[in-house]
Amino acid sequence: MAVTYVHGYDERESDRLQDQAGALVTLLHSDTAYPPNARVLEAGCGVGAQTITLARNSPHARFIAVDHSVPSLAAARRRVADAGLANVEFLQADIFHLPFPPNSFDHVFVCFVLEHLADPSHALLTLKRLLKPNGTITVIEGDHGSAYFHPDNDEARTAIRCLVDLQRAAGGNGLIGRQVYPLLVGAGFSDVTVSPRMVYVDSSKPDLVESFTKKTFTAMVEGVRQAAIAEGLAPPEKFDAGISALYRTAEADGVFCYTFFKGVGRNGA
Amino acid sequence: MAVTYVHGYDERESDRLQDQAGALVTLLHSDTAYPPNARVLEAGCGVGAQTITLARNSPHARFIAVDHSVPSLAAARRRVADAGLANVEFLQADIFHLPFPPNSFDHVFVCFVLEHLADPSHALLTLKRLLKPNGTITVIEGDHGSAYFHPDNDEARTAIRCLVDLQRAAGGNGLIGRQVYPLLVGAGFSDVTVSPRMVYVDSSKPDLVESFTKKTFTAMVEGVRQAAIAEGLAPPEKFDAGISALYRTAEADGVFCYTFFKGVGRNGA
């Protein structure tokens, strides 16, 4: 299955993912650790933004990080090597056609991947077959509909909707975070628990204003400017006003909120 | 100042506030406790939904609970007496004209009140004058723009917008939660910290589905049906479809999210 990655693959995007990983590591990953010798599949490792955290937090687990993009894999490989981590192998493959027999992994980890797939349920079923009995799957996804801010602003909401619409047109779902629970239950996982990871940013947290509000979220929306305008989803001046309004929320009296969802399920079958 | 309370004062509303208080006590109040003999003002105690929790969690502090509504005060007084609590006095007064000299209180507590005021900044300045130096103010507010759900639904969002619009027409602000930080800073409080309290509900938490999704949030929106239709904010069939869609989020594959904001500031002046 061909997958169009709505955010593109340029260098700025790579910076964005790196900033995001830096700011959110604790919030998203601090409660994920795998035991020694566990064999863990990271399905859709991208440029390795999460891979280094996973591998660091579970130094004695063995990770197989898979992505369909050759340049992303090269970046991930470099990043893991630069971090001095030796417990990750990389493999180029499609998430729907992974070259592993059933029961290959103790655990599976999937972060910011399902949002880009036309059939996330199918992906989860495919991954479930690769899990040993009682193995866990961990899924982390954002939800662009969880973004709200002060000052509130119509154009800002329009610009965000452009991103969601483009992602939908590419076969993805930018509002998937809220669906992690039903998706995991629907795929037959047991003992599913989902916890929201809300990023609340006001000016008492200048690092988060910079790394999240500006360099992660607003940069992500800004990244679809050309596509949004080309597709006629917003006139340029309206889109740009929306971006300005998002940057406005990074000022002293501004507030920005966004929520990620982390779900864990067990292969009880 | 006359204040129109958008939710009305009938018995169902009183039940709604009681359910809400029951489900949310830990989330909202577990980190609020006042030392022995502290003199604490609860400004806008309503029917006492928060008062009993406050008084229970700080049994040796002395509370003065104020509200402008005589029937609400009577209900609050009854509730506190039924709970066997003896550390609360009640007083009927307007939040903008409280009969206390400056520096009267060690701490002030305000919950679900600012959202109903046309000038919340003025209210905070008024309350600040009543605080002793280094006394704290605690503010808790919801934000109806923080509500999102699965399945997503246009009519449900319209029905919620009716509530926000009616609250605005009555001089209030149903999106005030995200503004707690700038409001407290703007009123001159020091060391302001705001933390979001997100209510995440899926069907693994049936009590919360019942008490929050259905009996708190959806009941609150449903409560403005007549007013919304009378004001022409939505045709009856669209409003009713929105309510049905909100109840739909309470089914097995549904998810409902809402966030409260709790802010604490210090009277450093």
Residue A203: list chain B partners with CB under 8 A: 181
**Interface contact B153, partner A, CB < 8 A:** no
The amino acid at residue B61 is A
3-state secondary structure of A41: strand
Q: Mutating which of A115, A141, A197, A198 best tests the B interface, going by the most B Cβ atoms within 10 A?
A: A198
**Interface contact B181, partner A, CB < 8 A:** yes
Q: Which DSSP letter does residue B169 get?
A: H
| Among A152, A198, A202, beta carbon nearest to B175 | A152
Please answer whether residues A44 and A72 qualify as being in contact, where contact means their C-beta atoms are separated by less than 8 angstroms: no
Q: Is B108 exposed, middle or buried (0-12, 13-18, 19+ CB in 10 A)?
A: buried
CB contact under 8 A, B185 and A143: no
| Among B150, B152, B179, beta carbon nearest to A255 | B179
Residue A25 is predicted with a pLDDT of 86
Long-range Cβ contacts of B29-34 (<8 Å, 24+ apart): B29/B53, B29/B54, B29/B57, B30/B57, B32/B57, B32/B58, B32/B109, B32/B138, B33/B57, B33/B58, B34/B58, B34/B61, B34/B106, B34/B107
Q: How far is A171 from chain B (nearest CA, A)?
A: 18
CB atoms inside a 10 Å sphere around CB B89: 12
Cis peptide before B151 (omega within 30 of 0): yes
CB contact under 8 A, A150 and B255: no
Give the helix/strand (H/E) hosting A159. helix A154-169
Give the helix/strand (H/E) hosting A190. strand A190-202
Which residue from A minimizes the CA distance to B200?
A196
Please answer whether residues A54 and A42 qualify as being in contact, where contact means their C-beta atoms are separated by less than 8 angstroms: yes
3-state secondary structure of B39: strand
Please answer whether residues B5 and B77 qualify as being in contact, where contact means their C-beta atoms are separated by less than 8 angstroms: no
| Closest among A117, A93, A135, A97 to A183, alpha carbons compared | A117
| Among A150, A178, A193, beta carbon nearest to B257 | A178
| Among A150, A178, A204, beta carbon nearest to B255 | A178
CB contact under 8 A, A194 and B202: yes
**Interface contact B83, partner A, CB < 8 A:** no
Q: Is A226 exposed, middle or buried (0-12, 13-18, 19+ CB in 10 A)?
A: exposed
Q: Which residue has better confidence, A78 or A24?
A: A78
Torsion of CA B153, B155, B158, B162, to 10 degrees: -130
Residue A255: list chain B partners with CB under 8 A: 178-179, 181-182
Q: Mutating which of B198, B199, B261 best tests the A interface, going by the most A Cβ atoms within 10 A?
A: B198
Residue A195: list chain B partners with CB under 8 A: 200
| Closest among A78, A73, A72, A80 to A53, alpha carbons compared | A80
Residue B122 is predicted with a pLDDT of 97
**Interface contact B179, partner A, CB < 8 A:** yes
**Interface contact A190, partner B, CB < 8 A:** no
CB contact under 8 A, A178 and B146: no
The tens digit of pLDDT for each residue in A229-246 reads 999 999 999 999 999 999
Residue B26 is predicted with a pLDDT of 86
Residue B149: list chain A partners with CB under 8 A: 178
The tens digit of pLDDT for each residue in A144-155 reads 999 999 999 999
**Interface contact B115, partner A, CB < 8 A:** no
| Among A175, A193, A203, beta carbon nearest to B152 | A175
Bridge-based pairing state of the strands A148-150 and A255-266: antiparallel
Q: How far is A23 from chain B (nearest CA, A)?
A: 17
Please answer whether residues A200 and A208 qualify as being in contact, where contact means their C-beta atoms are separated by less than 8 angstroms: no
Residue B5 is predicted with a pLDDT of 62
3-state secondary structure of B197: strand
Query: Which region, left, alpha or beta, applies to residue A82 given φ > 0 means left and ψ of -120 to 50 means alpha?
Result: alpha
Residue matched to tokens 């004209």: B97
Residue B192: list chain A partners with CB under 8 A: 204
DSSP codes of every residue in B83-114:
TT--SEEEEE--TTS-S--TT-EEEEEEES-G
Residue A24 is predicted with a pLDDT of 82
Pairs of CB atoms within 8 A across A/B: 74
**Interface contact A25, partner B, CB < 8 A:** no
- Which runs of consecutive H residues, i.e. helices, occur in chain B? 11-29, 51-57, 70-82, 120-130, 154-169, 180-186, 206-208, 219-222, 225-230, 236-248
| Among B182, B253, B259, beta carbon nearest to A253 | B182
**Interface contact A146, partner B, CB < 8 A:** yes
CB contact under 8 A, B178 and A259: no
Give the helix/strand (H/E) hosting A92. strand A88-92
| Closest among B112, B124, B143 to A150, alpha carbons compared | B143
Contacts (Cβ under 8 Å, ≥6 apart) of A218 = A243, A246, A247, A250
Torsion of CA A163, A166, A170, A176, to 10 degrees: 40
Residue A21 reports pLDDT greater than 60: no
| Closest among B114, B183, B175 to B144, alpha carbons compared | B175
Residue A202: list chain B partners with CB under 8 A: 181-182, 194
Give ipTM to 2 decimals.
0.91
Q: In what order do the strands lie in the sheet with B105-111?
A: B88-92, B62-67, B39-43, B105-111, B131-150, B255-266, B190-202
Which residue from B minimizes the CA distance to A193?
B204
Bridge-based pairing state of the strands B255-266 and B190-202: antiparallel
Q: What is the mean pLDDT of each run of 10 residues along chain B (269 residues)?
A: 55 55 80 97 96 96 97 97 97 95 98 97 98 98 98 98 97 98 98 98 94 95 97 97 98 98 93
Token pair, residue B191, equals 């060391």
